[in-house]
């Protein structure tokens, strides 16, 4: 996921919860299953930081 997709997913999840099909409708080219898998991996302990966090550390 790129930074823009991560932002959309995060904001949409706050608004609608686990409605992956609805969220996927806002992220062109992504299936609900991809969004759900990304969200679950991102929110489990020890997940690799987001692209935004990685970019901030590099600067």
Neighbours of 23 (CB within 10 A): 23
Query: DSSP letter at 18?
Result: S
Structural domains present in the chain: 3-58 (1.10.10.60)
Taking the C-alpha atoms of residue 42 and residue 36, their distance in angstroms, rounded to an integer, is: 10
Residue 13 has pLDDT above 80, yes or no: yes
Predicted TM-score (pTM) of this structure: 0.72
For 21-49, the pLDDT digits (tens) are 999 999 999 999 999 999 999 888 655 55
With bands split at pLDDT 50, 70 and 90, how would you rate the model's confidence at 4? very high
As a whole number, the mean pLDDT across the chain is: 86
Neighbours of 24 (CB within 10 A): 19
């Amino acid at each position: 996921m790129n930074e823009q997709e991560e932002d959309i997913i995060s904001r949409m999840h706050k608004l609608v919860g686990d409605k992956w099909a609805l969220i996927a409708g806002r992220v062109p080219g992504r299936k609900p299953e991809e969004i759900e898998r990304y969200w679950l991996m991102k929110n489990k302990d020890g997940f690799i930081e987001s692209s935004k966090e990685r970019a901030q550390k590099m600067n």
